[in-house]
Each structure stands twice: as structure tokens, then as C-alpha cells.
Amino acid sequence: MSPRQQLRADARRNADRIVAAAGALIAERGADASLEEIARRAGVGSATLHRHFPARQALLEAVFKDRVEALCAKAGDLLAAADPGEALLAWLRAVGAHAVANRGLGASLMRGGGDPALGGTCHDLITGAGEKLLVRARAAGAVRPGITIVQLLKLVSAISLATEHDPDGPAEAERLLGIAIDGVRPR
């Protein structure tokens, strides 16, 4: 689905419909929503869904693309912040908040490394954006050495995943994130 210009108009319209339906259903029921039902809601056959998005991950990437881009933009903004360490932590909190708010985003962010062949775009984008923040924070001595951006994002995603089925998910995620993130600072 990278070269969207090459798609025929109806095909592109269907792809958009599928992404919209997927977004709605994933918000309702989580990242493991039924692909059949997504197709049903989008008003297309299941074969069409599978041709457009050969793997579930590809669909998730499309659904969350704009949110990931927003997070990347925020990372860019924070590069100009006064305190490099606080900038990184603030960004991680923002990533966590987004992951909690958008069910399934956290899982999507992590699985980038899993299937290197297809997609991985979300994971790559967010990793690239965060890396710059981490490098700057590290240079300022605001994070302890040896920590990678992939580790930090894994931590954030894991927390959002763990609190996904909680009655009081967002608040609990915030608290857990607070604990975990404090370990990032040098002793």
C-alpha cells in the first residue's frame, strides 16, 4: 500500500474505508478484532481486505500511521526543549498516553522487529524519532548509559499492553510509567 497513487480510484476508496472501519472496531474491541467483521463494516468482501493488507500488522500500521506521525512530530518539537532529559521523559509519557488511548497501538509499536520483511514502518518511525531525543539526553548526562531507545519504547508499550484490560487503565498506566521512567535517570 506504499504507492497509493498507483491504485485505481475504487481500490483506494475501499482501502480507506477498510482503514476507517478497522480504526473504529479496534478502538471498540482491541487490536485482535476480527478481520472478517472489519471487512463487513467496511462493506467489502474479506478477500478485498486481505489483498490490500496481506497481514494484520499491515492494517494496524495503516490505522495508526497518523498517530505515530504525530508522536514523531512531537519528538521533533521536543528536540528544542531546554532540558534534554525532561524532554525525553515527557515524550515517553506522551507515547504511553497515546498507546493507552488507542487500543492496540502499543502492540503495534513493538512488533516492528518481529517481521522485518513487511511493514515495520511504525516501529521504525518512532524508533528513529526517539533516538534523537535519547542521544541528546545521553549527551547531557540525563539518562544512565547503556539504555537504548528500543528498550525504552518496549517498556512503554509493555505497560500500555498490561493495563489495556484494566478497569482503570489510563490512570494505572500513568502510575506504572512513573515508576518505570524513574529508573531511566542516572543514580
Partner DNA sequence: TTGCCAAGTGGGGTGGTCCTCCATATCGTA
Partner DNA sequence: TACGATATGGAGGACCACCCCACTTGGCAA
Binding at 8: pick from its own copies, DNA, none (beta carbon under 5-8 Å per type):
DNA
**Binding of its own copies by 45 (CB under 8 A):** no
Burial, 141: exposed, middle or buried (Cβ in 10 Å; 0-12, 13-18, 19+)? exposed
> Which of DNA, its own copies, none sits in contact with 175, Cβ below 5 to 8 A by type?
its own copies
Distance, CA of 178 to CA of 174 (rounded, Å): 6
Stretch that binds its own copies, among 8-16, 40-48, 92-100, 152-160 (CB under 8 A): 152-160
Question: Which residues, 53 to 72, sit near DNA by CB under 7 A?
Answer: 54-56
**Piece of the chain touching its own copies by CB under 8 A; list 39-47, 72-80, 121-129, 164-172:** 164-172
Q: Outline where the chain has alpha helix (H).
A: 9-29, 35-42, 46-52, 56-78, 84-101, 105-110, 121-139, 149-162, 169-182
- Minimum Å distance from CB 38 to DNA? 8
Query: What cell does 89 get?
Result: 521523559
